[in-house]
Amino acid sequence: MPAIHALANPARFLKIARPLTPLLFWLGIALAAFGCWAGLTQTPPDYLQGDAVRIIYIHVPTAWLGMAGWSGIAISSIAYLVWRHPLARVAAQAIAMPGALFAGLCLVTGSIWGRPTWGTWWQWDGRLTSMLLLFFVYLAYMALVRADDDRGGDGRIPAIFGIAGSVLLPIIRYSVVWWNTLHQGQSIGLTSSTIAMSIMWPLFFTLAGFTLFFAAIVLIRMRALIAGAKAEARLRRKATV
């Protein structure tokens, strides 16, 4: 906990974030690019889905980050409500946009994958519908943050919404278990996988790469929000002189 409180200081955070941002960004780009290249050229087609399976190298990381992004918002919201960390509110706001982007990409790539495998672009299936709801919840959160800022709110309402929205995460995760859905069951677990390693190995690179890229975007947005807050504070001080 002392380390978390130390990072809550904007000056200390910026001292770490400045050199870390380009490192995460370019390492993420490199890993994702290598994983995509390997997935397109170095793996065999699936015995059932053929070459359509190759979209897994984009679809799985976007699904993971769409859900992980909201987990980050929920954790940051709890930290803001409980400990009033100065950067917790900033972190939640910074995560929202890339989280929504990756949730949207998950839906798009899932539809592209579904067309040749299911014969349809969209199905009101438990997994797809709950992921679509998460995307809309992201948009609602960003709109709520903007409205709260415009009225001079203290951030508590968006934080409560950020925690409440996390109820969708277990629904998305277990939808293929709870309901008889068109979406395939869980293919990758912590200890086993139903995907052959000859197909799956590039996925480790794209998962790591997109995750690092996501983290870099969050740091960029946090730095921008902090800079914007500092500039606004200076303008207010000048206005009162």
Domain boundaries, the chain: 58-186+197-240
pLDDT tens sequence across 189-224: 555 566 778 889 999 999 999 999 999 999 999 999
Q: Do 74 and 165 touch, CB atoms closer than 8 A?
A: yes
Specify the DSSP class assigned to residue 179: S
Q: Do 199 and 53 touch, CB atoms closer than 8 A?
A: yes
Is 67 or 2 the better-scoring residue by pLDDT? 67
- Residue 188: helix, strand or coil by DSSP? strand
| Nearby residues of 78 by Cβ (< 8 Å), 6 or more positions away | 159, 163
pLDDT for 116: 86
For residues 24 and 210, give the distance between their C-alpha atoms in angstroms, rounded to a whole number.
10
For residues 96 and 142, give the distance between their C-alpha atoms in angstroms, rounded to a whole number.
7
* Encoded tokens for 170: 């277990």
pTM of the predicted structure, to 2 decimals: 0.89
How many other CB atoms sit within 10 Å of the CB of residue 194? 11
Percentage of residues in the chain with pLDDT exceeding 90? 60
Instruction: Flag whether pLDDT at 174 surpasses 50.
Output: yes
Question: How does residue 1 score in pLDDT terms, banded at 50, 70 and 90?
Answer: very low
pLDDT for 84: 85
Percentage of residues in the chain with pLDDT exceeding 70? 85
